[in-house]
Amino acid sequence: MQNATFIRETALKEIAKLDSQKAQGLFRERVLDFDMPLDWNRIRSMNLPPSADLDAELIGVLEDRWTERMSRVAPIIGLYATDSILSRVKGVYEVYGPDWPCSIEAGLLTYFLRVDPAYGSEKLSPALTAYYDRGSSDCHQGNLLVDLAILRNGPELQRFVSAALNDPRPLVAAAGARVTAFGDQAKIPVRPLLARLRALHEEWPDFDARSATDPDYLKKWNSGYNELERILSIDFVNAEDSPENAALWKQALDLCVSDSCRNNLRQRLARSKF
């Protein structure tokens, strides 16, 4: 099923390059075929042109307020709906605001950030606060901020990414670290990641000695701090090989808390040309 889905979506993208109107019709059929899987991580790259017909069908589903169907169309609204339905999308969103499920929240907030950045930024802050307070299991990638960035990692999102990276809560910071490294290897900003690793290092002094003898200490580390360090080390490894980054990797190696992080950095440095 997954292979068939991939083939269909790849074909749809190729059709879009040749005949956008034909692709749009097929796309609408696929979006509204609720029995078929839809991987919006691939669909987001189609770059469909604006369509009043697609707008009408998407807002119709959203206003029906059937949660499962809303979850399906919300990311499509985030990617492709025009501002002609903005007031109606706001009307639906404001029924529950930050308390919508993550699968709906991510798509609608992406839409607002794209077509009405001031409103989107106003709504994103309380939505992230509510998400971090309650958690959620229905996000596409396990985190609201990450889902937003996968859909559209636009400039309006960046101050929220920076705030997350420097948040004292380790799983919030881990999400910020993931999104910070999205995109081109040459553009991964290593310095803010290094600053976050330094803060983690300062928070966990004498880790090697204490983790071997203090179960509660190790339990706290494994409550999310280990995941933050893991994501940071992956970000370093994925960054472009350059003299500047090589120097920063050496600093990061000294700031690693665990052996796993140190091993990742040593391997990266061994592959570096600098």
Is 108 inside a domain boundary? no
- Among residues 145, 158, 172, 186, the alpha carbon closest in space to that of 231 is found at 172
Locate 62 and state its tokens: 């959203």
pLDDT-based confidence at residue 134 (cuts at 50, 70, 90): confident
* The total number of structural domains that make up the chain: 1
Q: Is residue 126 part of a domain?
A: no
pLDDT tens profile 250-267: 999 999 999 999 999 999
The answer to whether residue 63 is domain-embedded is no
Residue 114 parent element (H or E):
helix 102-115
Predicted model pTM: 0.86
Q: Which residues contact 121 (CB under 8 A, 6 or more apart)?
A: 113, 156
Q: How much of the chain exceeds pLDDT 90, in percent?
A: 71
In a domain, 100, yes or no: no
Q: Is residue 111 a part of any domain in this protein? A: no
In a domain, 229, yes or no: yes
Residues 6+ apart with CB under 8 A from 257: 200, 201, 204, 207, 221, 225, 229
Residue 44 covered by a domain: no
Measuring CA to CA, how many Å separate 3 from each of 75, 121, 273? 22, 37, 39
Q: Domain of residue 251: give its range.
A: 160-274
> How do residues 82-132 score in pLDDT, each as one tens digit?
999 999 999 999 999 999 999 899 999 999 999 999 999 999 999 999 998
Residue 178 inside a domain? The answer is yes
Q: Compute the distance between CA of residue 127 and CA of residue 133 in angstroms, rounded to an integer.
A: 10
